[in-house]
Amino acid sequence: MTEPLRLGIAGLGTVGVGVLKIIRQKAALLEARGGRQITISAVGARNRSKERGVPLDGYDWEDDPVELAKRDDIDVFVELIGGSDGPAKASTEAALRAGKDVVSANKALLAHHGQALAELAEANGSVLRFEAAVAGGIPVVKALTEGLAGNDIQRIMGVMNGTCNYILTRMESAGLTYDEAFAEADGLGYLEADPTLDVGGIDAGHKLSLLSAIAFGTQVDFDAVELEGIGRVSIEDIRQAADMGYKVKLLGVCQMTGRGLEQRMSPCLVPATSPLGQLDGGTNMVVIEGDQVGQIVMRGAGAGEGPTASAVIGDVLDIARGTRVSTFGQPSDRLTKPKPASTATPAPYYLRLMLLDKPGALAKVAAVLGEAGVSINRMRQRSHDQNTAPVLIVTHKTTRAALDNALAAMVGTGVVEGEPVALRIEHV
């Protein structure tokens, strides 16, 4: 008779409780699908006395996650602690050194230490799985490492932070300012304890760096991800984008180019009729383009107890079946150190700037753009007060470097108030 697969679960927050519930409620189904019984030997968390809505008396308790990771009666260490260092890193390393397989939902840990952890797993004959770390319940890691393994991946795009998508959607649908939509999301409990992880693009950037490593066979390089959050997107930008047939999304894009590996997470305009443009609320979407399959669109819940726990269980069942895949889809010693792209792929841009009501002001702005090699596609001046007028410009394709040179030069013209907003237009 096949021996049970024994788990040790560190971290009993929303996701950890969700994993416990699935294992308790679907034991027969999991055994049938995994080929062996899934059991829990021990659990641990910071607060033992906290009421979690699920009984824990049938499991041993470990206060120290490192000790939990090293227990002889677990086969798989499930790391749901969170954080790029500290107990999460120490316990994951301890589990791998002890020859345990590891399932993690920790995007920050993998984004910062993925290469070293992959090497440690292979050195000890273990596997490290992290489906739950990227896009919640969407099985995008499995799709890249297995289902699409016969493809050269050309580009990955995605909306990978539900909180940001919720804020941008509410700004459009309810006419809220950024601050009002942010406060609403905070009141609903959507924001991380440190909100900049969400609205600053860091959380989504972690996820993008992991997908990029799998897609292009490179070592994880989160430090090379160009990050820009949504804090400067105004209701005016939302409205103007809609008027031009676009939606504003915090969009992650990675692709290998002749200039190197391009990884960026920033607010972009996407066509309103595209799958990404039609994505509302807290939902995530990942678009994968492969040379054999063309474009694949995967959409689903990007966070929450059920979706993320579902992803954890998927990894556990693969281990139960004996499926053993390298952390990033190929042996760690074959992952190359990426060369970051010197410049992003040229694209059109949307610009919003406040122009002082001075003679020749518009001509000066146009001249600065022209001198930087940025060509204007269309321009619109909105109604204005006595001192300033909002001016909206859509450029032809240009590089961000050329555009940044133009924006810097505008400061010296004396006709622009404040800092202009520039949003890339991504055609999908």
* 70 a catalytic residue: no
* Active-site residue identified among 207, 247, 249, 364: 207
- What type of residue sits at position 402? A
- What is the three-class DSSP state of 139? coil
CA distance to 117, 177, 294, 350, 382, per residue, from 385 (Å): 58, 20, 50, 22, 10
Token couple for 170: 């509410």
- How does DSSP assign 345-394, residue by residue? PPB-EEEEEEEES-TTHHHHHHHHHHHTTPPEEEEEE----SSEEEEEEE
347 has which bridge partners?
Answer: 398
Number of other residues whose CB lies within 10 A of the CB of residue 173: 12
Question: Could you report how far apart the first and last alpha carbons of the chain are, in Å?
Answer: 51
Q: Pick from 105, 167, 108, 158: which is nearest to 136 by CA? A: 105
Helices and strands of the chain, counted as H and E runs: 14, 16
From CA 366, how far away is CA 393, in angstroms rounded? 10
Residue ranges in 124-248 assigned as alpha helix (H): 140-142, 162-174, 178-187, 196-199, 202-216, 235-243
Q: Pick from 428, 406, 426: which is nearest to 264 by CA? A: 426
Catalytic positions are 207
